[in-house]
Structure 1
Amino acid sequence: MRTFDLYKTSSTDGGLTWSFPESVYRSSDIHLCEPGCIRSPDGKKLAVLLRENARRKNSHIIFSEDEGKTWSEPRELPLALAGDRHTGKYGSDGRLFISFRCNSPTEKRKSRPFEGDWVGWVGTWDDLETGGDGQYFVRLKDNKKGYDTTYPGVEILPDDTFVVTTYGHWSKGDQPYILSVRFKLHELDQLAE
């Protein structure tokens, strides 16, 4: 059975140079990759959401309380966060918006309406720490070609507008192209009701 290593590197000069890769976790059961890091609201902890590439389990999360020197054991996330390439930011109300590609464990795919699509999750840091489902899960755009989509960028403007950008196959039969959406969390809240 194939073994996956999850590595970390660090930089002390703003990314000009990087340390030699160091293994954080190694497993043949779960294949963790594509980390997306989110800092706690108080700035004291890091959470890294990870794709589970064997597609046997949901995505996972690890935590650090020492700026990434050491990490907790991986823990499975709820199905609402199952996917790839998690990228998130906080709104002014303290809630998180996390953008990613919906990609579920193989046996759960038929139950997921947005499988292979560009999606978002709204919840809190506490949801990440406790394994909560969050407030809601929303499709941002229907991808028309399998799973070929979503390496998202997430930015937040001074007026609390989220700008979320990625590529995908948004029109059937066409080449992929880049799409950007803008919204405020209260607008998503109204759609989720």
Structure 2
Amino acid sequence: MVMAFLWNAPISLFAQDKLPLIDVSGQTERHVVLAEGTPEVYQGHPTTLLMPNQKTLFAVWCINHGGAAGPLARSDDGGLSWRRLDDQLPPGYATHQNCPSIYRLVDPAGKERVWVFSAALGQRGGPGMPSIMSEDGGETWREMPPLNFPCVMTFSSIVRLRDGRYLGLYHKGPDGKDRAPLEVLQTITSDGGFTWSEPRVVAAVPGKNPCEPGVFRSPDGKQLCCLMRENTHKGHSLMMFSEDEGETWSTPVDTPWGLTGDRHKEVFTADGKLVVCFRDQAPGSSSRGHFVAWVGTYDDILQGKEGSYRIKLLHHFGRPGDCGYPGVELLPEGTIVATTYVKYRDDQNKNSVVSVRFRLNEFNHVTAP
């Protein structure tokens, strides 16, 4: 189905683009709308989780920009259709604020739990990192006490360490507020998410504002890579690496141009390609402010190379840059499901939550620079 219309996708030759850009944003056959915005309701900031059966997906998001949590949807067919579970959640969850993030964590005894962390309880600036948790694969949920970590957003990413613990990264400004200078902090859980170590700063860059850290493991399993939004937006994004499971991190440096953006989220395909989706903020980019995917390899990042190409996934018709916080999942047959919030149409409706489906083998005709 997708292959039939791919060849109509233009490849940008925009002079300031340092990578080929394939624009599939107008191919609505790829789109699934999870929650449509209205003139009154803004749907924002989703994250997703693919369960071990490789078919069940969960998506959580908030109402209004950085607003209250509440929406939760489930798909049992790999994201083709969704049903809302809002009325099955603890009533207090609707008071959790800003960018809920969903994770599957397994404790030392092998017990799986699904957690949804948010930034604050009750109001912005309230007790930090409240959560809801499910012990039965998302069938039932209960509200959990806040971790009391002041933050702008809760964990932007969590990665499992080789010893079975989990490392979580988030950011904050002074007193937990959303103002400069921003710093990235790290904390570790040894019991599957109930308790976390005292957070410590792992990225603070003079003159820059690192935030929204996206951490993932290298293909050989030996290294952690963290891509970070740089909130002055005057240059490139930032990246840092750890060779010792987060005990120490390299000094943050600029990413390549093509990875400059906000809220990076990645998947590795079966053939080793790396796909990173985000809100494009690359200087001079023809797709700046829209939702894109970067395609390359892990070595490209490690060596500071530009990568192979980028894909414009969705066009944002609203306020510049108010889109692109994604969940990104890889299905067994190779389909990537990238879910974000975006002003989907040029009309009076506010932002919607929309997913885009694509496979890298559709783009084999693109030649890397």
Give me the TM-score of the superposition, normalised by structure 1. Answer: 0.91
Cα distance between partner residues in 2 of 1:51 and 1:152: 13
Deviations 1:95-141 (A, max 9, x none): 0010000023xxx3xx2110110000000010110011011011101
- 2:332 alignment partner in structure 1: 158
The structure 1 residue matched to 2:258, chosen from 80, 94, 117, is 80
- 2:350 alignment partner in structure 1: 175
**Which ranges in structure 2 are unaligned for 5 or more consecutive residues?**
1-179
Question: For the aligned residues, what is the CA RMSD?
Answer: 1.3
Cα distance between partner residues in 1 of 2:343 and 2:185: 31
Q: Matched residue of 2:258: which SS? A: helix
Is 1:70 aligned to residue 227 of structure 2? no
Match runs of 1:48-63 below 5 Å: 48-63=226-241
Q: CA deviation at 1:89?
A: 0.6
Contact kept, 8 Å, 1:100 with 1:118, in 2: the verdict is yes
Identity, % of aligned positions: 41
Contact kept, 8 Å, 2:326 with 2:340, in 1: the verdict is yes
Cα distance between partner residues in 2 of 1:189 and 1:113: 22
The structure 2 residue matched to 1:44, chosen from 219, 222, 232, is 222
Cα distance between partner residues in 1 of 2:324 and 2:186: 23
Cα distance between partner residues in 1 of 2:227 and 2:216: 8
Q: CA deviation at 1:25?
A: 2.5
Amino acid at match of 1:112: S
Contact kept, 8 Å, 2:184 with 2:213, in 1: the verdict is no
Cα distance between partner residues in 2 of 1:41 and 1:17: 29
Deviations 1:56-91 (A, max 9, x none): 220011000111111001110111111000000100
Q: CA deviation at 1:181?
A: 1.4
Structure 1: 4+ residue segments shifted above 6 A:
none
Contact kept, 8 Å, 2:256 with 2:301, in 1: the verdict is no
The structure 2 residue matched to 1:144, chosen from 299, 302, 317, is 317
**Which ranges in structure 1 are unaligned for 5 or more consecutive residues?**
none
Q: CA deviation at 1:53?
A: 0.6
Contact kept, 8 Å, 1:30 with 1:57, in 2: the verdict is no
Amino acid at match of 2:360: L
Cα distance between partner residues in 1 of 2:190 and 2:336: 29
Give me the TM-score of the superposition, normalised by structure 2. Answer: 0.49
- 1:121 alignment partner in structure 2: 294
Cα distance between partner residues in 2 of 1:141 and 1:189: 20
Cα distance between partner residues in 2 of 1:122 and 1:19: 35
Larger Cα-atom Rg: 2
Contact kept, 8 Å, 1:162 with 1:182, in 2: the verdict is yes
Highest RCO, 1 vs 2 (Cα 8 Å, sep ≥ 6): 2
